Amino acid sequence: MTHSDTNKLLAGKIALVTAGSNDSGEAICHSLSESGAKVIIHYFKNKDRADKTCNEINSSGGSAVSWGADISDEGSVESLFKFIKDRFGRLDILVNNAHLPITRSFFHEVTWEEYQEQIDVMVKGAFYCSKEAVSIMSGQGSGSIINILTSQIDHPVKGYSSYVTASSALVGFTRNLAVEAGDKGIRVNMIAPGFVLTGHTPHAPLHVQEAIKKATPLGRLGTPEDIAKAVLFFASDLSSFITGGYLVVDGGNYLHHR
């Protein structure tokens, strides 16, 4: 499907996707672009993949640029947003999608430094990026910030303590920012995916995957595209009266943990 064939929910919008070079980030970038947004694809180390996604979008009639930054570093984030302001003059959508690679480590094996690294990327990164975004969006009187976390906050799984802890912090961050930014016309929401099968995260053994499918009312595992569709909802005016929202994207798997 070409960009001219799609519904332009985001026509004229400018979107920044952090960690646009990972699986979910790539799907989000494509989805936003197909809906009319110009996309800034952030990457930290994976420049080749970010550039590949950028080229795919541009060659299919969309508009994308890539930019490398360490979002846990305030100066690096300031440089990223200076580029956005100089190049586009506005920002309508921020997707805080960055996290360290998710590896299974039990609590007794994890050091505080490893905890801190995940918190720095997920929480500090969202803080710095959101602060810059709010500054721009306030002048426009509108904007949407979307934070990606994990549904394991509500039903933890052994071995993912640092990821769940950082995600939990993002819940409080999101809700407080939603309250503070609402009168500026800025909506702040969060998406909590369940198990998503990708090519760049450790795959659970097949018997575990089958168990997850069996416990999921919709009968399958999540995909990066499922996350991207939820992002599109929060990025567009379809969710114009929603802020502080928490959307679980797991095919109903959470229902078995209530």
Q: Looking at the annotation, which residues are catalytic?
A: 163
Q: What is the dihedral of CA 86, 177, 33, 151, to 10 degrees?
A: 140
Residue in this structure with the two tokens 């985001």, named with its chain if needed: 10
Contact 17, 42 (CB under 8 A): yes
Virtual torsion, Cα 22, 25, 26, 29, nearest 10 deg: -160
Distance CA 32, CA 14 (A): 9
- Find all residues with CB under 8 Å of 247, minimum gap 6, and list them: 189, 190, 191, 192, 230, 233, 234
For the record, the structure tokens of 214 come out as: 């069996």
For residues 22 and 97, is the Cβ–Cβ distance under 8 A? yes
